Structure 1
Amino acid sequence: MLLLNPKKYQDRNYPDERSKEIMLKTIAFFENKGMKKMKEDTFSFEFTHDFAEFCKKERIFETLFLPKGYGDDDQYYSTYRMYEFSEITGFYGAAYWYMYHVSTLGLDPVFLGDNEELKHRAVQQLRENPLCAFGLSEKEHGADIYSSEMKLYPQDDGTYLARGTKYYIGNGNEASTITVFGKIAGTDDYVFFVVDSHHEKFECVQNVIKAQNFVSEFILHDYPITDADISARGPKAWDDMLNTINICKFNIGSGATGIVTHSFYEAINHAAHRNVYGKFVTEFPHVKRLFMDSFCRLAGMKLFGLRATDYMRAASAEDKRYMLYNPIMKMKVAIQGEEVHEMLWDIIAAKGFEKDNYFSQAVVELKGFPKLEGTRHVNMALIAKLLPNFFFNPKEYPEIPRLNGPENDDYLFQQGTTRGYGKIQFHDYNIAYNSVDLPNINVFKEQIKTFADWLMISGMELKDQMMNDFDFLLGVGEMFTLVAYGQLIIESAAIEKIDNELLNQIFDVFVRDFSKYAVDIHGKPTSTQAQKDQALKIIKSPVIDNDQFARVLEKHVYSLVDAYHMNP
């Protein structure tokens, strides 16, 4: 099965027993807890202490988070394992996923840093308290990370006192390893240092949201810091901050995939057993279309995520293609999840409000995912910088297989300087698109060619257009992103042996999406007349095959009726 089904998870192929063990034990934790208790905790805003205790007892974060050379002798860091665990925790609830996500965010700056003694100290703390936190954002500055007001004040004895406030910091109520980003007072030097929420000079002010997960505001009141607490300073601290986000925002797409998968099971189970006007809901033509489109988008999310994982694991100083696929994973996949959820809600209607199901909480929780670790605009601005090399300056790379083995993802903790981003090159996207001959992929290829011509018509002025009008940049970025998104889905489909009819149906959706984005660009006030004329040529219809639609619906979509129900 392509989609996560916790009741059949033991059938998945893992390279070692430990990896399989933590996934199965995590599923068992939630299934034994059951839907009723999980919902009670959600409504009571009960912090997920039970999950933290479970992770400590089973040493789960220790297994997942630590790179080779730390922890057990056979320890390794695997983006594939992180993907799987992120999807599972998202499947059961954003509060559990968030505890996991911000813990890895908080720990990674330590292992990206220069302080070897601090790394070993963090390992020991992880065993005693698995919760970590990432102290980056501030109330008055938000995503403006250049304007940090958190400061280390040098003292005469060579130590420091930390003063300042951080805001939107997950796990700030309990974490023992909190990596804090700031500056050395009186200088422009950035610094990363570690504090403990249990220290007397640490004040947890509040949870800034009303939810199970704790998103804290905290204050450091002359918190004592020594060199032993500092992981990096200067340009290295800045690079470690950005590289931490590069690693961890990948979790957002996999978490969103887990959320939507659970909602999909609830929606299709309800619709298949709901009889109105003498028919089951699944028999109505518009419902068939909604289920087909939602499943195709969900399948695309999963296929892209699996393939993007390979590029994360294969990364090196010579191969930084993950720097495109990573923000797509964060932004595109999460937004696709929102679209799927809206279609499912159109199907189940009032059922989506009911307090006793997963869907009602997912409606709220999923909305937050595209807004985490940089807004849609910030991530699209990053993506747009890679557009020229992607379309017009390809590079040859060795073919990358599915990488789900026990190898350590060495490069992720050795990313180095963040300069030179716009020089990253990619393999020719035509290789993937020309590897299959399917009606809707062929239409999509025509759209790509017309979009490439649009880029040529736009010329060098396109860069200024995008930089001066973020709304225009979003429109262009959506078309560019869809090309890379479809490319990796085709590559992943070949590895996962997805049948051609389903793949063709997925691109039925993408042909319509490409046309929608072209209409959007045509209507932008920034667009020139030449750009508007060319944008109209991108608009095409998918190739309709009603018999294929019926076969895919029965084989891949409606076959999932009653495939999963969470334990009560």
Structure 2
Amino acid sequence: MTPPVTSDFYELEALLDDADRERLYRVRDFMDTRVQPVINDYWTRGEFPHELVPGLAELGVAGAQYSGYGSPGRSSLFDGMVAMEFSRGDPSIATFMGVHGGLAMGTMHLCASEEQKERWLPAMARMELIGAFGLTEPEHGSDVARGLQTTARRDGDEWVLTGEKKWIGNGSFADLVIIWARDDRTDAVLGFVVEKGTPGYSAVDLKDKIALRAVQNAHITLDGVRVPEADRLQGANSFRDTARVLRATRVGVAWSAVGCARGAYEHALRYAEGREQFGRPITGFQLVQDLVFRMLGNITASATLCARASQLQDCGRLRDEHASMAKAYSTMRMRETVGWARELMGGNGILLENHVGRFVADAEAIYSYEGTREVNSLIVGRAVTGESALV
């Protein structure tokens, strides 16, 4: 069994029971032995390592916090630590799993009918069907709640979807894509499941990204896509239902930020342990130890914040402002930490073979997706002051 890593400075893994710790260590071992040796090549080429999906499926952690329909039914705390562990190995893999197991499966668990859950979730839990989540649009990100332009028109027993989505992870190869659209008659925001191969659905991968290059983010065009009423998510009838999903997954992104910081820190620390300058290991230099302290402090503070948010989620007390605080704070500290990891390594920190540069780049995407720092800060500010500054 892989031993705990030194970046768990306050021993948060001890909050898990023995069985969940073993599951967590299996994820860590998979990322260290199967992903790390190959991920730089995929990251450079901007391609997703599809051959790793069967191994990811064998870990049995897709949709970990949800119960029933083949899902593991573990705690939100365990689910968050798994997200952290994926991101510690590689943020692109963490994002792929977060989209599938968090956004797509989470929407199914929270918004689908019993029949729909039985039809789709077991295969998604086994990762035989891969999911995607289509909310963001080319002209609407932070304001998508009010600005959603994709429309849904009822036509007998079918709905006709028209519009565009952008930045949709897994969107070009997913078997099931959840599309959020506005009812052209009632203005209500509804959710639909579009199956792979549906006429009128097209997806083109975005090119030349500087972050999360192994993630396939798609620009989706919906040109009169027909979806049967049976594939409309029966519990998704307003943006509040969308927000329920985002509240849960936002904590997962916060954990991923901690993992990104941990990955950079651990690579930098191992580098420092083997690097000599002026005739001695650089770990004995005061300025290096100061950087180690700063990085570990950020990681520890963010991880404890996320752990408490997950505990609130487990007892049903998580509010929007809790999730926003965790996401905004953890991503801010992540950005600092990966920069310090690069600084510790000097010029060698920009070589992909040393891994830290990948975390530095990927941190920029994690910092912005699932709610920018600015919007999350205003959500917290509204909760504290009682005044909304969002518009």
TM range (shorter): 0.7 to 0.9
Listed as ranges, the matches of 1:349-388 within 5 Å are 349-388=346-385
Q: Which residue identity does 1:354 align to in structure 2? A: L
Q: Which residue identity does 1:105 align to in structure 2? A: L
TM-score (normalizing by structure 2): 0.88
Verify the 8 A CA contact 1:197 1:204 in the aligned structure 2.
no
Q: Aligned equivalents of 2:315 and 2:241: distance in 1?
A: 20
Q: Which residue identity does 1:153 align to in structure 2? A: R
Listed as ranges, the matches of 1:384-403 within 5 Å are 384-388=381-385
TM-score (normalizing by structure 1): 0.62
Q: Aligned equivalents of 1:69 and 1:281: distance in 2?
A: 51
> What residue number does 2:148 align with?
148
Provide, for residues 424-471 of structure 1, a one-character-per-residue CA deviation record: whole Å limited to 9, x for no partner.
xxxxxxxxxxxxxxxxxxxxxxxxxxxxxxxxxxxxxxx5xx839x9x
Provide, for residues 327-370 of structure 1, a one-character-per-residue CA deviation record: whole Å limited to 9, x for no partner.
11111011101112222222221121112122111110012212
Q: Which residue identity does 2:217 align to in structure 1? A: V
Cα–Cα, structure 1 residues 227 and 34, in superposed 2: closer, same or farther, change >3 Å?
Answer: closer
Q: Which deviates more, 378-387 or 253-262? A: 253-262
Report how many aligned residue pairs link the two structures: 380
Q: Aligned equivalents of 1:382 and 1:34: distance in 2?
A: 36
Cα–Cα, structure 1 residues 36 and 77, in superposed 2: closer, same or farther, change >3 Å?
Answer: closer
Q: Aligned equivalents of 1:233 and 1:147: distance in 2?
A: 21
> What residue number does 1:335 align with?
332
Aligned-residue sequence identity (percent) comes to: 18
> What residue number does 1:467 align with?
389
2:58 aligned with 1:60, yes or no?
Answer: no
Cα–Cα, structure 1 residues 130 and 226, in superposed 2: closer, same or farther, change >3 Å?
Answer: closer
Identify the structure with bigger relative contact order (alpha carbons < 8 Å, sequence gap 6+): 2
Listed as ranges, the matches of 1:164-313 within 5 Å are 164-208=163-207, 210=209, 211-232=213-234, 236-313=237-314
Larger radius of gyration: 1
Partner SS, residue 233 of structure 2: strand
Q: Aligned equivalents of 1:326 and 1:189: distance in 2?
A: 25
Q: Which residue identity does 1:372 align to in structure 2? A: Y
Unmatched 5+ stretches in structure 1: 389-421, 423-462, 471-568
Provide, for residues 10-69 of structure 1, a one-character-per-residue CA deviation record: whole Å limited to 9, x for no partner.
x9674474x45543433333333264422222222221312322233454315x15x334
Cα–Cα, structure 1 residues 270 and 245, in superposed 2: closer, same or farther, change >3 Å?
Answer: same
Provide, for residues 188-245 of structure 1, a one-character-per-residue CA deviation record: whole Å limited to 9, x for no partner.
12211111233333211233554210111112232222221111478x4311111111
Verify the 8 A CA contact 1:115 1:228 in the aligned structure 2.
no
Partner SS, residue 212 of structure 1: coil
Partner SS, residue 191 of structure 1: strand
- Measure how far apart 1:312 and its partner are: 1.5
Q: Aligned equivalents of 1:114 and 1:258: distance in 2?
A: 31
> What residue number does 1:95 align with?
92
Verify the 8 A CA contact 1:4 1:261 in the aligned structure 2.
no
> What residue number does 1:161 align with?
160
Cα–Cα, structure 1 residues 33 and 109, in superposed 2: closer, same or farther, change >3 Å?
Answer: closer
Provide, for residues 467-509 of structure 1, a one-character-per-residue CA deviation record: whole Å limited to 9, x for no partner.
39x9xxxxxxxxxxxxxxxxxxxxxxxxxxxxxxxxxxxxxxx
The Cα RMSD (Å) is 2.7
Verify the 8 A CA contact 1:3 1:261 in the aligned structure 2.
no
> What residue number does 1:536 align with?
none
